[in-house]
Structure 1
Amino acid sequence: MGWGEREVVGVEPSAGEQVSVSFRGVAMGVAPSEPGTDPRHIAQPSAPALLSYPQGELLRGGRPHRVLAGSLHYFRVHPAQWADRLGRLAAMGLNTVDTYVAWNVHEPHRGQVRFDGGRDLGRFFDLAQDAGLDVIVRPGPYICAEWDNGGLPAWLTGMPGMRPRSSYRPYLDEVARWLDILMPRITAAQAAYGGPVVAVQVENEYGSYGDDRGYLEWLRDALTGRGVGELLYTADGPTELMQDGGSLPGTLATATFGSEPAAAAALLRARRAGEPFLCAEFWNGWFDHWGEPHHVRSVDSAAAALAGILDAGGSVSVYMAHGGTNVGLGSGANHDGVRLQPTVTSYDSDAPVAENGALRPKFHRFRELLLAATGADPRPLPPDPPMLTPRTLLPVPGAGLLEGLTALAPATDWPHPPSFEELGQASGLVLYRAHPLVPAGTHELTVHGLHDRAQVFADGVPLGVLDRESGALPLTGTGRRIALDLLVENQGRINYGPLLGQGKGILGGVRIGPRLVHGWSVHGLPLDEWPQAEVERAPGVAPPAGGCGFATARLDVGTPADTFLALPGFGKGFVWVNGTLLGRHWEVGPQTTLYVPAPLLAAGRNTVTVLELERFGDRIELRDRPELGPPQEYVETFD
C-alpha cells in the first residue's frame, strides 16, 4: 500500500527500547510503555496547547482563531507531490491540513514497521509547515476513510476472537504497542516543540459504531500519556445518538456533516455550552463504489453549506480538500446490509483540488468564501499540472491467467480451503485448486462464506463467477476427476459499520452437491506486495493462453508528466506502471481511467503491465483528463 516502496526498513522496538525521533533536527527520546499498562509516565510539553477555548471562543496562542482546514491523506498522494498539493490547499485560503494515519500502511505485517518514503510522517509535517499550514492528526487507530479495513491491519482483525474498537484486552494491548511506536513521531512535531501539529483526534466517529465509553477514555489517556499536549477532540455525526456514543466529557466535541450547518451548530451548543463550533468533516463531495454512479456535489450546494458554517462562527475541515488515489489495493468497501459495495480506485471525491491537482470551480468559490472570512491576502494560484499528450498503446499478451498465476507463487497444501488470514495475506488474489471426482450428470457447486468474488474453472474452462450474494452454480461431471480452480479476489475490506474486520477468501467450504471438497493446493497472490522484478517477470512465466492473463505495453516518454490510463474493451483486473500497482480497473464503472502521477514515469521507456481476469481489449489509451463516470448529485444521509 504505497507508491512503489517495497523493502521493509524497520521493525517494532522491543520492550523498554527507546524510540528516537526528531522534528527538524530536534531529537527526542520517548520510552515506550509495556503493552496493556498505564502509559502516563511520559512528560507533557511545558508549553500550553496552542489551540484553546477558555471562554468558549477558539484561540490560537491567545488570539481569536478559526481552524480552516482541508483533509489530505499523505498515503493517497505520491510523496513527490506532497509539497505541491499542500501548496494548493494553502492557496485556497486554508490555514490547516488534517490527515489520518493508516496503521495498516505502516505495519502491514506485525512487527514490520515503516516510516520511509510515502510513509514518512515527519517529512509530511515538515512540508505542511513550509506551506504555512498547521496540522491536525487523526491517528485512529480506526480511521474509516473508505480505506481498507478502516486502517486496521488485517493481521490484527484476523486474530481469533479479536474485538476491535472496544475494551477487549488483546485489542488494547496491540493498540498500546502501536501507539508506543507511532506517537513519538507525532508528539515531536507538536506546536509546543516548534512543529505544526496543533490538534489530535481521539478515535474516529465512534458514536456511529459503539458506546464503549471505557475504550474511548482509555484511548484518550493513552494519547495524553504518550505526550500529546495539544488540543484533543472527538468527531461524530450531528445526531444525539452519535454524539452520545462518541463524545467524552472534558474533550472538545465536534461534528461531521455535509449540510444543515445551523442545525449541527445548535445541537453541539445545546450539548456543550462553552465549546466552539467545529465541523471536523465538511462533506463537499463523496466517494464511489464499483457499479454505482459517480457522486458529485454542485458548487452552489457545497458553497452554500460552507458559507453556513462560516456564518455560524464555525471552524471547518473540508473533506476532502484533495482526495488523491486509493493506490494499490488500499480501497475499502461498505456493506448496505444486503451486498458488498467495493470502493473504486480513485478517491477524487469531487474535491476542490482534483486527483491530478487541477483546480476546480469549487476551489475558486471556496477560496472566495475563506478569504472573505479571514481577510487574508490571497496567495498566488498554482497552474494546473502538465499532462502527457494523449496516445494509444498496443498491449502484448503474455502468460495466460491460470498458467501465469500458478507459476508465480508456490503452492501450499491444505485439507480445506484456507482464508486469506490463515495464509497471512491481507489483499490480492488466492487461487484454490482441487481434483474432485465428479459423477456423471449436473451437480450444484456451492461455496460457503465466499469473500468476495470467485472465478470458477473446470479443467481450465471458465464456468462462471460467484460472489458473496450468489454462491452456487451448476457443474457437469463425467465420472472422472477434474481440475477445479477457484480464483478468489479480495475486493476491499469493509471499512465502516458492524462488519468491520470480516475475513477474506473462502471462510466456509466448497461442496459438490452435499459433499465437501477436500485436498486443496493453494497459491497466495498478494499483488500489492510484489516487487518490481516480480511484476516484470510475470508476463513471461508461461505462454499466452486464451483471452486473459498478463499483458504489457511500452510507453515512451520525453518529459514525464501526469496522465490518465484507460483500458477500453478490458473486463476486470489490475494495472502496474513500472512495477508500481496503480489499482483495480473494472468495466462496470463508474471509473474508467486510472491516474498515473508523473513521478511514476521516467524519461525514455516505461512499462505498463496488466493482469486481466476476464477479457483483453485491443488497446490501452492515455488520456489528458479523468473519466470517473456519469455524475449523480450526492445526497447526505445518516444511518
Structure 2
Amino acid sequence: MGTFTPDKEHFVLDGKPFRVLSGALHYFRVPPEYWDDRLHKLRAMGLNTVETYVAWNLHEPRPGEFDFSGGLDLARFIQKAAEQGLYVLLRPGPYICAEWEFGGLPAWLLKDPGMRLRCYYRPYLEAVDRFFDALLPQVTPLQITHGGPILAMQVENEYGSYGNDKRYLTYLAEGLRRRGVDVLLFTSDGPSDWMMQGGTLPDVFKTANFGSRAEEAFRVLRQYQPEGPLMCMEYWNGWFDHWGEPHHTREPQDAAASLDEILQQGASVNIYMFHGGTNFGFMSGANLDIWSGQYQPTVTSYDYDSPLDEAGDPTPKYYAFREVLGKYTELPDIDIEPSPKQALGTVELTERASLFSSLDRLSRPVWSATPEPMEYFDQQHGFILYRTQLAGPLVENVLSIRGLHDRALVFVNGTSLGVLERSPETQTLPLAVGPEGVTLDILVENMGRVNYGPDLLDRKGITGHVMLGQQFLYDWTIYPLPLEKLDGLDFTPAASEGQNEPTFYRATFEVQEQKDTFLALPGWTKGVCWLNGRNLGRYWERGPQKTLYVPGPFLKPGLNELIVFELHGTKQPEVEFRAQADLGE
C-alpha cells in the first residue's frame, strides 16, 4: 500500500519527493485496442502519470443503466496504465467540460423542466449520487492507498468559472470520501481571483489551469494556497476547433518553452492534451460566446494539436516536449513508431434511402400541441422532425423559430424552403400558402450541447415556438430521430442524379487489413457517417476538418458497410479513403 501527499514544497510518494509529469489521454476518445499504444508513447515521452476525465453521459446513457464494458472499461484502462509503469490522476466529474457533449453530463437530466445544474439542487444531486455509487466501486480498489496507480481524484472541474456554491462542492467532496476515496482530493481552476474563490474548498488541494505565463499564474495560485507544491493541472499546449473557424495550431517551440517555464518553477504539470483522440458519434460539444451569443459547435476531431496527433502518431511537438522533459527527468529508452496507414481509394455509394420515406422505420411519432425539445421525448442525440399542416390561402409571411437548437432544414410539401441556424438574431424564411394548404416539415439537428459557461443548460430541437408572422403554430406530429440503429432502413439502387433531400447512402467494400485510414467526402455538404454500425461523427463542407479518422479496428477483413446521411445532397455519391488526415488550415 502506498501514499501520495503534499508537504510544504513537494509531492511525496511513498516517503520520497515526486514531481508529477502527466499527460491527458481520455480513454473514451481512443479505441480500446489502442490504449496500450498511446500509454506506451506517453511513457516514452518522459511522463510518469496519465490523467483522464470520466464521461458520465457514456457510462449512464439512460437513468439507472450503467455501462463499464469494452471501450468504457475504465478500470481496465487504469490497470493498463499501471502495466506501463504509469500513475493516474482521475477526474470523475460529474462535470468535465473537455469540449465533450454537455460537458459529460447526461442529456436525460434536461427532461426535468426545473433542472438546475452544478449546484445544490436535490434532483441533480440524486442523479450524481447514483452515478458515483456505480462508478466509485470500479476505481477505489485502484487507488495508491490500495496498491493501485491512482494518486489523486478531482472534485468537480473548473467550478469557479461557473459558480460559487460551496455547499455543492462540499457535498461532492464528502460523497467521494464516504464512498471510499482516500487519496488526495484536488480542484482545478483558472488563475484568477473569481475562479479560485468560487471553485476551491479550504481543505482540498488546489491546482491551476493555463497555457502560458506560468510565473504569473502560479503567483495567483499562491494567494489561495500559500504552501505546498505547485501544479498546473491543465497546461494547454494546443486548442480545439469549431466548425467554420480556422484549424488551431501552436508552434512546437513556443509550446515547449511554456512547458519549460512551468518546470523551471519547480512545479508539477499535466499536459492537456497529450493525445486528444476523436469525438466519435454525436459526442462533440459546443460553446456559446458570452459576448456575441454566437453558437459554436466543435468539430469531430479532437486532435488538439497535441504531441500525439489524432491517429496516435508523434508530432514535432512530441519531440520538442521530450527534449524539455529530459532536462528534469531521466528519459526512458523506448522506441516508438507511427501506426501503419492505408489508402483504400474511391468507394461508390450505390444504394440510397430517403429520410422522409424512412420515417416510420426510424421513429415512432408523437403528437404535441407545441414543438417541444427532444429531451422531453427521452431523446439525447441526433435529429428531430416537427411536422404540421397549414391551411390556406395565406399571403407570403415570415416563418421563424424561437429557441432553435441548433440547425433546421425547412420543407414545404417535401420541397426545401431553406435553412435556419441558431443565431443571436431570429432568422426567417418567406412562406406563402395556397388554398389547398401545405405540409410543413422542420428537421432540426442537435449539433452538440454547450459544454462550458453560463449557457450549459442547453436543450435541443425547438425549445420555444414556431411562428408564421405573428401567429404561433400548433398541432405538431414529432418524429424523434436519434439514429442509434439504422438496420431497419430499406435501401434501393441510387438514382444517377444527385438527391437534394436528406438521404441515407450505403456502400459495401472489401478491406484486406485493419489499418488506420481517413474518410474524405469531397462534393458532399453536411451529415454523419457510420462504418460497420459505428458512428464516425459529423462532417461539414464548412470545415476546417476535411477528413474523418477511421481507426483500423473499426474495419473488418472482408466486407465492410459505410452509410452516409447527407442532409443537402451530393452530385456524385462517392467517398475516398486516404492515408493522411486533413484537418484544414
Tell me whether the two structures share a fold, i.e. TM-score over 0.5: yes
- Equivalent position of 2:505 in the other structure: 551
- Equivalent position of 2:476 in the other structure: 520
- Equivalent position of 1:42 in the other structure: none
**C-alpha deviation, 1:447, in angstroms:** 1.3
1:273 and 2:226 equivalent? yes
Tell me the distance in 2 between the aligned counterparts of 1:308 and 1:367.
14
Q: Deviations over 1:54-98 (max 9, x none)?
A: 233211111111100000111101111111111111111110000
Q: Deviations over 1:107-156 (max 9, x none)?
A: 11101111111111111111111111101110010100111111111111
1:476 and 2:432 equivalent? yes
- Equivalent position of 2:516 in the other structure: 562
1:219 and 2:172 equivalent? yes
- Equivalent position of 1:328 in the other structure: 281
- Equivalent position of 1:236 in the other structure: 189
Tell me the distance in 1 between the aligned counterparts of 2:459 and 2:336.
44
1:488 and 2:439 equivalent? no
Q: Deviations over 1:411-438 (max 9, x none)?
A: 2222222211111101100111111113
Q: Deviations over 1:14-73 (max 9, x none)?
A: xxxxxxxxxxxxxxxxxxxxxxxxxxxxxxxxx6x6221223321111111110000011
The one-letter code of the counterpart of 1:51 is F
After superposition, the Cα gap between the structure-2 partners of 1:321 and 1:251, relative to the gap in structure 1 and judged at 3 Å, is same
1:392 and 2:346 equivalent? yes
Q: Summarize the alignment of residues 375-524 of structure 1 with structure 2, pairs less than 5 Å apart.
A: 376-469=330-423, 470-524=426-480
- Aligned length, in residue pairs: 577
**C-alpha deviation, 1:390, in angstroms:** 4.7
Quick one: which of 191, 194, 201 aligns to 2:147? Answer: 194
The one-letter code of the counterpart of 2:295 is L
The CA RMSD measured in Å over matched residues stands at: 1.6
- Equivalent position of 2:491 in the other structure: 540
Tell me the distance in 2 between the aligned counterparts of 1:283 and 1:318.
7
Is 1:134–1:197's contact at 8 Å kept on the other side of the alignment? yes
Is 2:350–2:494's contact at 8 Å kept on the other side of the alignment? no
Is 1:144–1:204's contact at 8 Å kept on the other side of the alignment? yes
Quick one: which of 207, 210, 215 aligns to 1:262? Answer: 215
Tell me the distance in 2 between the aligned counterparts of 1:445 and 1:438.
15
**C-alpha deviation, 1:539, in angstroms:** 5.3
Tell me the distance in 1 between the aligned counterparts of 2:388 and 2:431.
14
Tell me the distance in 2 between the aligned counterparts of 1:192 and 1:50.
6
- Equivalent position of 1:74 in the other structure: 27
- Equivalent position of 1:613 in the other structure: 567
Tell me the distance in 2 between the aligned counterparts of 1:485 and 1:175.
38
Tell me the distance in 2 between the aligned counterparts of 1:182 and 1:612.
38
Q: Secondary structure at the match of 1:602?
A: coil
1:625 and 2:576 equivalent? no
After superposition, the Cα gap between the structure-2 partners of 1:438 and 1:73, relative to the gap in structure 1 and judged at 3 Å, is farther
Is 1:539–1:551's contact at 8 Å kept on the other side of the alignment? no
After superposition, the Cα gap between the structure-2 partners of 1:54 and 1:89, relative to the gap in structure 1 and judged at 3 Å, is same
Q: Secondary structure at the match of 2:142?
A: coil
Tell me the distance in 1 between the aligned counterparts of 2:385 and 2:246.
31
Is 2:163–2:198's contact at 8 Å kept on the other side of the alignment? yes
The one-letter code of the counterpart of 2:168 is Y
Quick one: which of 120, 127, 130 aligns to 1:167? Answer: 120
Tell me the distance in 2 between the aligned counterparts of 1:108 and 1:584.
20
Tell me the distance in 2 between the aligned counterparts of 1:171 and 1:542.
49
Tell me the distance in 2 between the aligned counterparts of 1:601 and 1:422.
36
The one-letter code of the counterpart of 1:410 is R
1:341 and 2:292 equivalent? no
**C-alpha deviation, 1:588, in angstroms:** 0.3
Tell me the distance in 2 between the aligned counterparts of 1:494 and 1:542.
39
- Equivalent position of 1:107 in the other structure: 60
Tell me the distance in 1 between the aligned counterparts of 2:359 and 2:319.
48
Q: Summarize the alignment of residues 23-172 of structure 1 with structure 2, pairs less than 5 Å apart.
A: 50-172=3-125
Tell me the distance in 2 between the aligned counterparts of 1:509 and 1:247.
40
More moved, 419-428 vs 174-183? 174-183
The one-letter code of the counterpart of 2:460 is K
- Equivalent position of 2:243 in the other structure: 290
The one-letter code of the counterpart of 1:475 is L
Is 2:364–2:479's contact at 8 Å kept on the other side of the alignment? yes
Tell me the distance in 1 between the aligned counterparts of 2:492 and 2:109.
34
After superposition, the Cα gap between the structure-2 partners of 1:315 and 1:436, relative to the gap in structure 1 and judged at 3 Å, is same
- Equivalent position of 2:314 in the other structure: 359
More moved, 303-312 vs 222-231? 222-231
- Equivalent position of 1:41 in the other structure: none
**C-alpha deviation, 1:369, in angstroms:** 1.4
Q: Secondary structure at the match of 1:295?
A: coil
Is 1:399–1:540's contact at 8 Å kept on the other side of the alignment? yes
Is 1:102–1:143's contact at 8 Å kept on the other side of the alignment? yes
Q: Which runs of 5+ in 2 are unaligned?
A: none
Is 1:332–1:492's contact at 8 Å kept on the other side of the alignment? yes
The one-letter code of the counterpart of 2:404 is L
Q: Deviations over 1:319-377 (max 9, x none)?
A: 00000000100001000032110000000000001111111010011111113211x24
Tell me the distance in 2 between the aligned counterparts of 1:367 and 1:390.
34
Q: Which runs of 5+ in 1 are unaligned?
A: 1-46, 631-639
Tell me the distance in 2 between the aligned counterparts of 1:444 and 1:216.
47
Q: TM-score with structure 1 length normalisation?
A: 0.88
Q: Share of identical aligned residues, percent? A: 48
Tell me the distance in 2 between the aligned counterparts of 1:303 and 1:231.
29
Q: Secondary structure at the match of 1:217?
A: helix
Q: Deviations over 1:361-419 (max 9, x none)?
A: 10011111113211x24232221000113511112240123223454222222222221
Q: Secondary structure at the match of 1:509?
A: strand
Tell me the distance in 1 between the aligned counterparts of 2:37 and 2:55.
22
Is 1:157–1:163's contact at 8 Å kept on the other side of the alignment? no
After superposition, the Cα gap between the structure-2 partners of 1:76 and 1:539, relative to the gap in structure 1 and judged at 3 Å, is farther
Is 2:43–2:332's contact at 8 Å kept on the other side of the alignment? no
